[in-house]
Amino acid sequence: MAVEAQVVGDGPSWLIAGLGNPGPEYERTYHNLGFLAIDRLAETASIRVSRPECKALAGAGVIAGVPALLAKPQTFMNLSGGSLQLLLAKYMLPPERLILIYDELALDWGSLRIRYKGSAGGHNGVTSVIRGVGNDRFIRVRLGVRPEHPANMTDYVLSKIRKAQVETLDSILDYTRLAVESIITEGVEKAMTKYNRRAQGANEEQ
């Protein structure tokens, strides 16, 4: 799915944002998986995501050969939409040029789903983004964090990623990076075909 975008001079043609909460107490929690994915993209592309901009930490560079802006909203998860709306407006990008990466309780750990537009699915951060940008026509990369056993979901998503899962985190973040690069270079539909996957051993459809 090709989307034409108007850009400012040599500015970014994509905004790639991860959802999470700022502060050391939230580092490496399930709810900050979006931030971790942005960190991996930044590390691979040698981009520093440290510049305060539009209520976010941002960094510009090249992802998969294309100018892009990486961002981590610093407004806390449930208010992320305001920051991303400001960034899209500043760089004259339409919502279709936003790739949003975030944790998804409906998917098992290790699962990844690319989706173009649709509802927030109960994710408060995504609800904020839909409200902030004015519509739901942006690309989502959903990373599974569903617990193996029943849990208080609020406490769970704010807890540290389990040690056993940390062992697979590196490969998940690399896979996410490749999925984002595919969206940029090949389009949403082809990226969905190549990278949408369930966790190993998960049989149910998501």
Residue 31 designated active-site: yes
Q: What is the DSSP string of 113-168?
A: EEEES---TT-HHHHHHHHHHSSS-SEEEEEEEE-SS---HHHHHTSBPPHHHHHH
Q: Which residues lie below 8 Å from residue 181, measured CB to CB, with a gap of 6+? A: 63, 64
* Catalytic choice (21, 30, 31, 88): 31
Query: What's the burial of 203, exposed, middle or buried (CB within 10 Å: 0-12/13-18/19+)?
Result: exposed
**Cα 194 from chain centroid (whole Å):** 18
Cα 157-161-167 angle, rounded to 5 deg: 150
Tokens of 175: 């896979």
Distances (CA, A) of 125 to 31, 39, 83: 10, 19, 12
What values do phi and psi take at 119, rounded to 5? -70, 170
* Residues belonging to the active site: 31
